[in-house]
Amino acid sequence: MKKLNLLLGTLLATAALSHAVDSYSDVVGYQKTTFPAGSSLQGVGFVKPPVYSGSASKVSSTSISVSGLTAATGSLNPVNGLPTHYVEVVSGVNEGNYADVVSNNGATIVLDADITNLGSTENIVIRPHTKLSEIFAGNTDLADYSDSLSIFQPDGSSLVFLRDSSTASGWLDASSFNEADAIINPSQGFVLVASAQGTYTFKGTVKKTKTVVPLYAGAVNIVCAGNPSATSLSIQNVNLGANLVDYSDSAAVFSNNGSLSQDYTLLWGGGADGFLDASTFSPISGLNIGGTTGIVVSVGADTSWVVSAPYTP
């Protein structure tokens, strides 16, 4: 975990379209999160409502044809370098896989990755991405030119943003001081550094399907269950270890009181024992995590965490 501690220590110094309507209904709500003075791992428990719910068929490895979608060419394209929408599979063995929209030509959509081995027809949704600017929209508790936020990338690098409420996004790129924004993917966490305690409120819908959360080798994977409920679950019962390598891959739980001290270092011991205390090799018990509590996962090879749906009607 030395690399993890070093990286965290370093951290501290909409497009118009019409869509088909089906029985996919959403539970709408909001989440008010309190953050401490100091450094903490944060996440969000909601996603944006879908702009389309229906079916799609595979055209190529990264292209799909969407049934009943009426959208102007380019209306789902990235804006200012950031993807605006993503396609997510919501049924079958591929449920929870998603990929960003690169471009669209009417009902034909090009994605940035092959989300699955799609069959002839697959149920999907198209959602707008959640942006950093939206999570903290209207927030007055963060201090301009002082408070910051960091998002780790798949290649191990990080994006660092400085608060500036005078900009439309509310954030600056900490290296260039230009206005900037970022995407927060489903169940992705981030590091917030604040000079004083405060709150942020995010509105959205509760997911009713699984989420496949990517875990990258050589990166600091800050993830969360993405559940807005206040209910906590044992870390042994959230399926986090299902795709981890026994006695190799690990996880860490940090204090969220502002100190960002590492409270637990966990080693995955396999299905029989679950997560072990990395120093004593004893199975961990009594460690519960909340729905938006950030967990840092370290893996030796790219894999994923299949997160259960927060809400199943």
Same domain, yes or no: 87 and 207: no
Closest CA to 9 of 220, 299, 218: 220
Same domain, yes or no: 202 and 307: yes
- Asked whether residue 85 is assigned to any structural domain, the reply reads yes
Q: Are 239 and 305 in contact (CB under 8 A)?
A: yes
pLDDT over threshold 60, residue 13: no
Q: What is the pLDDT of residues 22-43, one digit of tens each?
A: 444 678 888 889 999 999 999 9
pLDDT over threshold 80, residue 120: no
CA distance 275 to 250: 8
Supply the DSSP string of the chain, one letter for each residue: -HHHHHHHHHHH-----B----S---EEEEEEEEE-SEEEEE--S-BPPPSEEEEEEEEETTEEEETT-B--TTTTS-BTTB--EEEEE-SSTTTT-EEEEEEEETTEEEESS------SSEEEEEEEPEEHHHHTTT--SSPTTT-EEEEE-TTS-EEEEEE-TTSSSSEEETTT--B---EE-TTB-EEEEESS-EEEEEEEEE--S-EEEEE-TTS-EEE-----SS--EEGGGSSTTTTSPTTT-EEEEE-TTBT--EEEEEEE--TTT-EEETTT-PBP-S-EE-TT--EEEE-SS-EEEEEPPS---
Same domain, yes or no: 138 and 251: yes
Q: What is the pLDDT of residues 153-203, one digit of tens each?
A: 999 999 999 999 999 999 999 999 999 999 999 999 999 999 999 999 999
CA 162 from chain center: how many Å?
Answer: 20
Domain boundary residue, one of 109, 128, 147: 128
Same domain, yes or no: 151 and 290: yes
Cβ within 8 Å of residue 176, ≥6 positions away = none
- Asked whether residue 20 is assigned to any structural domain, the reply reads no
Q: Give the torsion sign (CA, 76, 79, 84, 86).
A: positive
CA distance 293 to 40: 10
Other CB atoms within 10 Å distance of the CB of residue 77? 15
Structure tokens at 281: 């090799």
- Asked whether residue 38 is assigned to any structural domain, the reply reads yes
Q: Are 92 and 98 in contact (CB under 8 A)?
A: no
- Dihedral angle over CA of 55, 58, 209, 151, nearest 10: -130
CA distance 252 to 265: 5
- Asked whether residue 18 is assigned to any structural domain, the reply reads no
Name the residue type at position 201.
Answer: T
How big is the chain, counted in residues?
313
pLDDT at 30: 84
Which pLDDT band holds residue 310 (cuts at 50, 70, 90)? confident
Same domain, yes or no: 166 and 286: yes
Same domain, yes or no: 248 and 311: yes
Same domain, yes or no: 75 and 194: no
φ and ψ of 199, to 5 deg: -140, 160
CA distance 302 to 52: 30
Same domain, yes or no: 62 and 37: no
Same domain, yes or no: 107 and 209: no
Domain total for the chain?
2
Structure tokens at 162: 């400085």
Q: How confident is the prediction for the chain on average, in pLDDT?
A: 88
> Is this prediction's pTM over 0.95?
no
- Asked whether residue 19 is assigned to any structural domain, the reply reads no
Same domain, yes or no: 135 and 121: no
Q: What is the pLDDT of residues 286-297, one digit of tens each?
A: 999 988 989 999
Same domain, yes or no: 262 and 276: yes
pLDDT over threshold 50, residue 44: yes
CA distance 202 to 211: 19
Other CB atoms within 10 Å distance of the CB of residue 2? 6
CA distance 303 to 145: 37
Domain boundary residue, one of 100, 128, 156: 128
Structure tokens at 299: 């893996």
Over residues 129-142, the mean pLDDT reads: 93
Q: Which residue range forms the structural domain that includes residue 66?
A: 52-128
Domain boundary residue, one of 128, 160, 180: 128
